Structure formats: structure tokens, C-alpha cells
């Protein structure tokens, strides 16, 4: 299943968002509407209104076939803060072990009247596959799919940039690190391209650079010092130790020297440039600790925006379900 098909199938017959599987193929207006609603949900605890009950009476199920405490908790809190009932299924030890197909697990949750299924999986294609089969009132949200897609991460990255640099047409954005394996990079690229970012750059060691057919329109660099020069936004990606050797980089210190975002390198970016990271960070590997904690870092703001973006997505798909139901 290509992501183009995913983009089409995630809308209902009226063209409204039904599932969120990929940002590819979404329009600028659609993305902007989600970011605007997310911005509404960005509050400090002291500004919290009376409990929002948009999802009251709705059930959200977290199905994580790949572990991720951080993303799971972000979705869980987003759902709770909208009044939903939430259940967590640790799918690593669960039904697949017993030999039940994923689709049967989905049917089971649907039959229990779960309204929104949040899925993360290391294999590509599962969210779109599942979305083909669920009932009209059930929504599938992709919480991370192989190296391909992590749409709520792309949205929270776009929201964070917009809060600091609202005029996207003039922006130069750099994504640096293990691009080839990164769903974060792909979803950011989709969002930022659609939202009209001036220039998108990707920088990676040769072995971690994606195929030429991917990241259309992005400028490619194998030298991080050249890549960072003149940028307004720097997004460092998490590198995994096992990728380093494939990238012919023997250890973390070598990677840091070759590709880490350091204080010195950051000086080559434009004044006021912001530094992002999807987390969890390897401090002093892909990013210097002093940069992560420095004045240009917006990493914690990304986390805050993550909950707000997930609230916006949950609220949007539920309202679209309700609106479809009323039409009948």
C-alpha cells in the first residue's frame, strides 16, 4: 500500500479526516486547521478550563506493538484530558503470542465499542491495512509506523516551528542525522513541504541518507557544517548504536564529532535559530547536552505541543464521526 492510497483512504466520503495514517497528501488547510486547534489546547496547567468533555463516552485503545512509553503516555493524557475512557494493550506479550491475527484484535476492540485505536508497529503498512476493515465509526491513528510515518510527530514539529517562526516561506529548516530510518524526518518533510517552508535540508552520513527518490525537493548534505549554515530551524534525529556501525562510524564520540549538533556548529545557523529533537535524546551523541539545555532549544516545548496536537487530532476525528452520524 502506497502512502498515496493511505492519504485518500484516511478521509471520509465528504473529504473530512477519518483516520490519521500519514501527513502525505493532506492539504495546507487541513494541516492548518489541526495546528490551530492544537494551539487552542496548548495551556499551562494553571490555565486549564473545566474538564473538556469532547471525548466523554468514547473509548480510546492504545495498541503498541513496539514499545514507546513517551508516545503512549502523550496519547493517554491527551485522551484522558478530553474525558475519554482509555485502555492500554501491551501487544508485545499479548495476542500475537497467542496466534491471533492483528485484524482479529482490531475486530475485538471494535466489538467492545472502542472508538479510536492508536497503533504503533515496527512493520510498515499495518495502520492503513487495518483502516480498510474497521467500521465507519472507528478511527485509526498512527502513532509510529516503521521508518515511514509518525504523523502526530510531524504535526507537533510544525506547530513548534510556527510558534517561533510563523512565516514559513522564508524558513530554512535542517533535519540532521539518521534520515533513512526516520519516520520523524518523513512526517516532518511532508508537513513542512505542504506548509510551504522556504527550504528543507537533510544532512546524514552517506549510509544513512535516503534513496534519491525520497524527500523530493530537499537539499542533501553529507557535511553537517555546510548544512547548518544559514538555517533557522535545526532538527536533530536520534541515532541508534547499531546504525552507527552500518554508517561506518565506530562509536558515539566519533558520531558526535562528525554529525552532532554542538554549540560551535549552532553558531553557523542564523541568529535566533531553534533546535529540536523528537526524543528520547542521546545526549552528547546526536546533540550536545549544552545545546539540548541551551536557550535555543525548544525540545520540551515539542513535548508540550505533542499532547496538544494529539488532543486536536482526537477531537477532530471524533467530531467528524459525529457529523457523519447526524447526516444519516
Binding site feature residues: 70-71, 98, 120, 150, 153, 183, 238, 279-280
Q: Could you tell me where the beta strands, DSSP code E, fall in 164-255?
A: 172-176, 199-203, 219-221, 233-236
How many residues appear in the chain? 328
Nearer to a second copy, 61 or 179 (CB): 61
**Least distance from a second copy to the Cβ atom of residue 81, Å:** 7
Could you list the residues known to form a binding site for carbamoyl phosphate, using ranges: 70-71, 120, 150, 153, 279-280
Contact between 236 and 204 under an 8 Å Cβ cutoff? The reply is: no
C-alpha cell belonging to residue 195: 506548509
**Least distance from a second copy to the Cβ atom of residue 256, Å:** 14
Nearer to a second copy, 211 or 326 (CB): 326
Binding site for a second copy (CB under 8 A): 43-46, 48, 50-51, 56-59, 61, 67, 69-70, 73-74, 76-77, 80-81, 85, 87, 89-91, 93-95, 98-101, 104-105, 107-115, 137, 279-283, 300-304, 306-307, 325
Could you list the residues known to form a binding site for L-aspartate, using ranges: 98, 183, 238
Contacts by 209-212, CB closer than 8 A, 24 or more apart: 209/179, 209/180, 210/179, 210/180, 211/180
Nearer to a second copy, 74 or 316 (CB): 74
Nearer to a second copy, 108 or 290 (CB): 108
Distances (CA, A) of 247 to 79, 168, 175, 220: 39, 32, 17, 16
Amino acid at each position: 500500500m502506497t502512502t498515496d492510497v493511505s492519504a485518500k483512504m484516511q478521509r471520509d466520503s465528504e473529504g473530512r479526516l477519518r483516520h490519521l495514517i500519514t501527513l502525505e497528501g493532506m492539504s495546507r488547510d487541513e494541516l492548518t486547521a489541526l495546528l490551530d486547534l492544537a494551539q487552542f489546547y496548548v495551556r499551562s496547567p494553571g490555565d486549564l478550563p473545566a474538564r473538556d468533555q469532547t471525548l466523554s463516552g468514547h473509548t480510546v485503545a492504545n495498541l503498541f506493538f513496539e514499545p514507546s512509553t513517551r508516545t503512549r503516555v502523550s496519547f493517554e493524557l491527551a485522551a484522558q484530558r478530553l474525558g475519554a475512557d482509555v485502555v492500554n494493550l501491551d501487544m508485545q506479550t499479548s495476542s500475537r503470542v497467542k496466534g491471533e491475527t492483528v485484524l482479529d484484535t482490531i475486530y475485538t476492540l471494535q466489538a467492545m465499542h472502542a472508538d479510536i485505536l492508536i497503533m504503533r508497529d515496527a512493520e510498515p503498512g499495518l495502520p492503513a491495512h487495518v483502516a480498510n476493515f474497521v467500521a465507519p465509526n472507528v478511527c485509526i491513528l498512527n502513532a509510529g509506523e516503521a521508518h515511514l510515518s509518525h504523523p502526530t510527530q510531524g504535526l507537533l514539529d510544525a506547530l513548534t516551528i510556527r510558534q517561533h517562526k510563523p512565516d514559513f516561506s522564508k524558513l530554512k529548516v535542517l533535519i540532521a542525522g539518521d534520515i533513512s530510518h526516520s519516520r520523524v524526518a518523513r512526517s516532518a518533510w511532508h508537513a513542512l513541504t505542504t506548509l510551504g517552508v522556504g527550504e528543507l535540508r537533510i544532512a546524514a552520513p552517506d549510509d544513512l541518507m535516503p534513496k534519491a527518490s525520497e524527500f523530493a525537493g530537499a537539499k542533501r548534505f553529507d557535511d553537517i557544517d555546510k548544512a547548518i549554515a544559514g538555517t533557522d530551524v535545526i532538527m536533530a534525529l536520534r541515532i541508534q548504536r547499531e546504525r552507527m556501525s552500518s554508517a561506518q562510524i565506530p562509536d558515539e564520540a566519533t558520531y558526535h564529532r562528525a554529525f552532532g549538533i554542538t554549540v560551535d556548529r549552532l553558531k553557523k545557523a542564523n541568529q535566533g535559530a531553534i533546535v529540536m529533537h523528537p526524543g528520547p535524546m542521546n545526549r552528547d551523541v546526536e546533540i550536545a547536552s549544552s545545546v539540548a539545555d541551551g536557550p535555543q532549544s525548544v525540545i520540551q516545548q515539542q513535548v508540550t505541543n505533542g499532547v496538544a496536537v494529539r488532543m486536536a487530532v482526537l477531537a477532530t476525528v471524533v467530531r467528524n464521526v459525529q457529523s457523519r452520524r447526524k447526516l444519516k
